[in-house]
């Protein structure tokens, strides 16, 4: 491959005739200089590719359906995202097109990089982690449906006096109203994950966008007698700049995440060891943690996980930190 690249490069510099006849002594020096430059460029590009591949381990947006990603696929940026474009910018990007929220991880305990920076998201009242070095964690759970694990999650949170935010969809409100009431009674926040859990990035008009949000908020008020917090999480982590602007116009703060793992396959749950390996190694100051209420592994390990994080010096805070 290198030989072909060198030949093509040289053919653009010297004519075939010149190459066949040979070069003068002076020409040989020029030739060697050019050849050295070409080789250096090849080496540089290969090194850059290695660095990019090693540093940009990503975990895809974790939604109720997640487009059928398995754990290996969820380690890469999802479709529609240009990895090269992201790697070539120091400040991240916010694409005008549909983007799936993803993360790039470095050394254990360090903050990840997102599809956009903290500063870029903040202009749309959107967040994925806190820009702090304090050992604070923000616990969030996406709730698409109930399968018997939410009570254990609430029990663990209560035992540690840890506030959390539950992003619920319409079906969860309809099918598990008592659990939603318990969330409110125990001081947790309930946020908007839309009524039908659609790909909101494909909704381009405010009327349709607002209906998804309002239908869910109205149902929450009917169930609990209280108003839903103006916190929004895009289903499957799919968003666009227009979505962020529409949510902002409706008064919502949009919340992505900076720590998550593949926990949403009900019939293929990670082992306790796998969960701890991801959630302990990647934890970092100011993390917004995304977990799913449908995960039996989460229900089984949450009490121990919270204890381990506390032993590492972490405390738990509410998302209100971001908007007050």
CA distance 142 to 164: 11
Query: 238-239 and 231-232: which strand pairing?
Result: unpaired
Count CB neighbours of 202 within 10 A.
Answer: 11
Alpha-carbon dihedral angle through residues 208, 223, 232, 293, given to the nearest 10 degrees: -120
Which position has the token pair 């540690």? 160
Residues 6 or more apart whose CB falls under 8 angstroms from that of 107 comprise none
- The DSSP string of 113-167 is EESB-HHHHHTTTEESB-S--S-EEEEEEEES--SS-HHHHHHHHHHTT--EEEE
Both tokens assigned to 323: 């908007």
Taking phi over 0 as left and psi of -120 to 50 as alpha, with beta for the rest, 136 belongs to beta
Q: Which residues are catalytic?
A: 142, 292
SS3 content of the chain, % helix, strand, coil (to 5): 45, 15, 40
Task: Give me 22's structure tokens.
Answer: 């040979």
Q: Where are the beta strands (DSSP E) in the chain?
A: 99-100, 103-104, 113-114, 126-127, 136-143, 164-168, 189-192, 231-232, 238-239, 253-255, 287-292, 315-316
103 contacts 114 by C-beta, under 8 angstroms: yes
């Amino acid at each position: 491959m290198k030989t072909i690249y060198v030949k093509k490069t040289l053919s653009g510099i010297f004519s075939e005739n010149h190459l066949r006849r040979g070069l003068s002594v002076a020409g040989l020096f020029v030739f060697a200089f050019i050849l050295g430059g070409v080789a250096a460029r090849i080496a540089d590009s290969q090194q850059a590719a290695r660095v990019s591949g090693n540093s940009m381990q990503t975990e895809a947006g974790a939604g109720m359906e997640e487009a059928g990603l398995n754990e290996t696929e969820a380690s890469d940026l999802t479709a529609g995202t240009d990895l090269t474009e992201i790697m070539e910018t120091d400040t991240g990007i916010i694409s005008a097109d549909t983007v799936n929220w993803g993360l790039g991880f470095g050394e254990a305990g360090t903050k990840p990089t997102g599809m956009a920076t903290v500063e870029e998201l903040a202009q749309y009242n959107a967040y994925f982690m806190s820009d702090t070095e304090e050992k604070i964690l923000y616990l969030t759970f996406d709730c698409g449906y109930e399968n018997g694990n939410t009570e254990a999650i609430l029990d663990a949170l209560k035992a540690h006096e840890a506030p959390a935010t539950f992003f619920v969809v319409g079906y969860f409100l309809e099918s598990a109203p008592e659990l939603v009431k318990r969330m409110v009674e125990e001081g947790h926040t309930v946020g908007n994950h839309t009524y039908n859990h659609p790909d909101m990035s494909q909704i381009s008009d405010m009327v349709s966008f607002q209906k998804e949000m309002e239908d869910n908020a109205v149902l929450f008020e009917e169930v609990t007698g209280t108003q839903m917090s103006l916190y929004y999480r895009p289903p499957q982590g799919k968003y666009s700049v227009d979505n962020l602007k529409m949510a902002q116009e409706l008064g919502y703060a949009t919340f992505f995440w900076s720590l998550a793992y593949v926990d949403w396959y009900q019939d293929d749950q990670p082992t306790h060891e796998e969960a701890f390996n991801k959630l302990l190694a990647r934890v970092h100051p100011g993390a917004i943690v995304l977990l799913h209420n449908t995960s039996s592994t989460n229900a089984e390990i949450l009490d121990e996980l919270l204890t381990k994080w506390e032993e590492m010096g972490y405390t738990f805070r509410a998302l209100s930190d971001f908007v007050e």
